[in-house]
A and B are shown apart, each in its own frame.
Chain A
């Protein structure tokens, strides 16, 4: 355990709770999706919880966060209410994106949570731009960009790496390397599979982290964030992790061995921390069950919240395409009919 981190029982229990929250939420989403409550695509974060929870714990409220379509965990860990996230998955107006975005487009301006991006690699230049704004406007906030190792193949990854270092921008890149870009294993898509090494070659400090250990993740991130804030320069963390479910709901997982999944599950983040806490007498089975019940209750309330949410009226279809100052185009009055 890292010396820079103040590890106490309360904090570790909190981390466990955060990860469990995500775990149980995701599992419930899988069930809801099977019942067609949630539609479209569903990308579950199960197995990777330690990364989101560990990183978020080291950030400040003003920091800007850009994530991917697998961002439910990041949203919850950041502080978006479970209710607003669930309602968004349901497509109701009380969702965090007013129901317009769905699972892949969770946004919350107050939390500086800039999505929720469905284009692999698309968030990297965006986050780099947010960092540029912070620098120009002399804000203390940094930008944090989450992306999978699949994004490393995209041109935008390299362009963003280059620009971040060239222009000395205060940005923290978090690569969540879960080994598979949908169904393509890392070794089949990268000539150089050491991603941190790639980042280093652009001139920024880069480290590999055990993404299954939330304490390691938080420790590494704390160090990284300090660096970015004080040096106003980029930093790169490759968090090695694993997703226990398929890429999305409809994934036969023909590309990997069931045995491999089981192997990783043995070192799952929730399991690891729970085990450590129990072993070190910081947690009892009763405590754990209590935490679990509380979370399940929170989930039930979130579902009720979502179920009671409104469907946005069809008349408002073309809202929020442009900002209110400008006149709406393609209003009903302009469509059809003889002028």
Chain B
């Protein structure tokens, strides 16, 4: 029984996609045996003999030399014996499937350009633009005029946008998005004027002041002031590790008979100690404006209070030098409660938001050891204190375990010099060793 099978252009190598038929060595009607050479093919490596795989008779020669055809194309047909059928069955059906449409190089380029065309919205940064231009020149084999023009248009559009674009670090953008901050209103202190984290250190929740001013404006103003602060005020920093064993002991004693809601916390002692030391060193308590320093008559210590929404408010406790420690504590509690309840309609007084002569920032609850704050102009100093730590302490030639906090002072070098700052910190440290006297 006879069956007709295809003789196809063979694949002779991993990278061969087409071959050239150079010569037929058989004619229609010739009998051939498995292994007989029936044609000559030309490839990049030279001439190759094409063999017959089966015994049979050539019935048709479909392609004439000299002709280049894709691998898998049918070149001729032959009739073979039935018994070879089983083998050929599977192969023939799949051979037919192999025949593909020829892919020209132009189509390949088109695919490439469409794939690599960058949509206008995505081109944000200059560096990306540069690489887009580089793409046009270097990677496209035949630059399509159309697509080049498109890219040019994109470039033009973006150079227009350039002046409007705000530079900000990724994390700033993330926070700005979450808190709906208008970055165009914030001055950046990062490279190329970019906005970095510390520039938005106080972020604005959407709330209102007693006086009816939207808090958001106040916050933006303070943000602006902060950036200005870091840019204009020559900050310098000192820190001291403060043993607080005596203070803690005093607190324990004092709180023995108090309810938890009225407990005195370390911060109250610190505030009082600060106030007393400031009386001794008034150069840290006041305002630097119009090129000169004016010491303040009151000691109004502002406290940085963080809000649940993620922002901070910095209300001041007024006349701390006149208050007793328990009074300081309750005032602090009150102002903190009201600050944190702002979103629920509580109010802070404008007198509390303005008029601070110095600021203290307590990051101890956040687990931070030290914090060097940025001075709030027109103040000239800010004191930071970190978490209570258990450390080995030398006491009378012995080593004991005690508690300490790290107090950090940031001061305006135009008004305060290192010596003065150090003396202030020392005084503060000393005061805290005698809590009963505060």
Contacts and interface: CB of A to CB of B under 8 A. Distances in A.
The reply to whether A and B meet directly (CB within 8 Å) is yes
Interface of A: 31-37, 39-41, 248-252, 254, 296, 299-300, 303-304, 307
Contacts of A250: 12-14, 16, 43, 45
Contact of A40 (B12, B14, B48): B14
Contacts, number: 55
Nearest to A33: B11
Interface hub of B12, B86, B94 (most chain A Cβ within 10 A): B12
A252 B45 CA distance: 6
A304 B90 contact: yes
Interface in B34-55: 43, 45-48, 53
* Chain A contact residues: helix, strand, loop or mixed: loop
A310 to B, nearest CB: 16
A246 to B, nearest CB: 9
Nearest to A248: B13
B11 A34 contact: yes
Nearest to A252: B46
A32 B92 CA distance: 11
A307 B88 CA distance: 13
Contacts of B48: 252
Nearest to A41: B14
Contacts of A304: 90
Given A37-B94, A252-B48, A296-B87, 6 more contacts: A33-B11, A34-B12, A35-B72, A250-B14, A303-B91, A307-B94
Nearest to B71: A36
A35 B14 contact: no
12 contacts: A33-B12, A34-B8, A34-B11, A35-B8, A35-B94, A39-B11, A40-B14, A250-B45, A252-B47, A252-B48, A254-B45, A300-B86
Contact of B11 (A35, A251, A300, A307): A35
A40 B94 CA distance: 18
Contacts of A296: 87
Contacts of B12: 33-34, 249-250
A82 to B, nearest CB: 14
Contact of A36 (B45, B47, B53, B72): B72
Given A251-B45, A252-B47, A300-B87, A36 B98 contact: yes
Interface residues of B, number: 22
A31 B8 CA distance: 11
B278 to A, nearest CB: 47
B376 to A, nearest CB: 35
A305 to B, nearest CB: 11
B11 A31 contact: no
Contacts of B8: 34-35
Contacts of B11: 33-36, 39, 249
B10 interface: yes
A303 B94 contact: no
B16 A303 contact: no
A320 to B, nearest CB: 24
B68 interface: no
B330 interface: no
B14 A254 contact: no
Contacts of A34: 8, 10-12
B149 to A, nearest CB: 32
Contacts of B95: 35
A126 B98 CA distance: 40
A104 B12 CA distance: 17
A37 B71 contact: no
A271 B87 CA distance: 25
Contacts of A33: 10-12
Contacts of B10: 33-35
A41 B53 CA distance: 20
A70 to B, nearest CB: 16
Nearest to A39: B14
Nearest to A36: B11
Contacts of A37: 91, 94
B45 to A, nearest CB: 4
Which 9 pairs, one residue from A and one from B, show the smallest C-beta to C-beta distance? A250-B13, A34-B10, A252-B46, A252-B45, A250-B12, A36-B11, A31-B53, A249-B12, A254-B46
A307 B90 contact: yes
A104 to B, nearest CB: 12
A303 B72 contact: no
Nearest to B42: A252
A188 B219 CA distance: 85
Contact of A35 (B13, B45, B46, B98): B98
A303 B46 CA distance: 31
Interface string B4-48: 000010111110100000000000000000000000000101111
Given A34-B11, A250-B16, A250-B45, A303 B71 contact: no
A37 to B, nearest CB: 7
A99 B93 CA distance: 23
B207 to A, nearest CB: 31
B174 to A, nearest CB: 10
Contacts of B53: 31
